[in-house]
Amino acid sequence: MVNFIKKIIFWLNCARVYSLPITVLNWIVIFIYSLKSGGNAFLGLAALIGISLVHMATNLTDDYFDYKILSKDEKYLNSAQNCKCLYLKNNQATTEELKFVIFIFLGIASIIGGVLFFMSGYYVALLAFIGLCVAAGYQKLSISGKGEIAIFIAYGPLLYEGTYYVMTGKFSFDVLFLSIACVFMTITVLYAHMLMDYDGDESSHKITLCRKFKNKTSALKFILVFYLLGFLNISAFAILTRNYYYFLSFLTLPLIIDLYKSLNAFNHDKMNIPQIKFWHYPLDGWEKIKNTQDAPFYFRFFYVRNILIWFLLLICIGIIL
């Protein structure tokens, strides 16, 4: 039993369970909004479990195909981030085991989808089909520089409208607008990750949105476009709904400026770690990570994730107020 639990924990870590706050916080936004519209809390929680499983399955699927590319040439493996597909590179798991776990995650998510289908309505089948298509096609979209499209669909209209429909039995134009306001901020997490893996993706000829720019400096500047779109949309939503508490989300602006400076330093020195301040936290398992070669990467990944968390929490406060 102990070994079984350890195996589960191992695969949850491989599936980057630490990235789930991104999914959970987006879900909390629409969960609170749906509750205020009389939504069913139990069905919303079931939807969260299914969404989280698909999220982790997508991460593992991305690893599977990335490793297939990286393992073709040793120089590809050496140029990628040390933490990239680490459990496959150091033989802690095989690609066959990885495929099995992916199917398990998606299988459980399908069962949950079946339950929601009977309890919420037949549109759940359509929403689940779209979700599986996004998960299956993410890697191909990612290597062609279109990964942000998948994230836009999955973390925008699909997650928000899907959760709202499951909980209330209907769709909402307001929810669609809210989803667009939040998803641009969510995309920054993926974009920052790709920016930090620019050199590895270049060596393995993986085309990402970052790689469409001639250099890392130009690619870095583009992250500001996503943040700008996020703030513009939440501003428009605040004005249209006459709920000006949404402007509390602008409190994240100083953190974004600090993040930009940090990513710029990483572009010039991959081993750079700025002085840790209280606003950088939480940094998951930092005491174990801080003295490793992966520390500069993880610091910035956690930081961009934390900024998103603050942004979404402030929106939650706006919904409640």
> What burial letters (b/e) apply to 252-274, b meaning 16+ CB within 10 Å?
beebbebbbebbeebbeeeeebe
Check if the beta carbon of residue 300 is closer than 8 Å to that of residue 262.
Answer: yes
pLDDT at position 204: 64
pLDDT at position 73: 56
Check if the beta carbon of residue 201 is closer than 8 Å to that of residue 210.
Answer: yes
Q: What is the DSSP letter of 274?
A: P
Domain count within the chain: 1
Cis geometry, peptide bond prior to residue 282 (ω within 30 degrees of 0): yes
pLDDT at position 34: 93
Reading the chain (321 residues) residue by residue, the pLDDT tens digits are: 667 787 788 777 777 877 787 888 899 999 999 998 889 999 999 999 988 888 888 888 777 777 666 666 555 455 445 555 667 666 677 777 777 888 888 888 888 888 888 888 888 888 888 877 877 777 677 667 677 788 888 888 899 999 999 999 888 888 888 899 899 999 999 899 888 887 777 666 677 788 788 888 888 999 999 999 999 999 988 888 889 999 999 999 999 999 999 999 988 888 888 888 888 888 878 888 888 888 888 889 999 999 999 999 999 999 998
pLDDT at position 80: 47
Check if the beta carbon of residue 162 is closer than 8 Å to that of residue 132.
Answer: no
- Give residue 25's domain range: 2-320
pLDDT at position 70: 62
CA 193 – CA 294 distance, rounded (Å): 13
What tens digit of pLDDT does each residue of 128-175 get?
A: 888 778 777 776 776 676 777 888 888 888 999 999 999 998 888 888
**Which residue, 195, 251, 205, 267, is CA-closest to 225?**
195
3-state secondary structure of 290: coil
Task: Kindly report the pTM of this predicted structure.
Answer: 0.77
Check if the beta carbon of residue 226 is closer than 8 Å to that of residue 262.
Answer: no
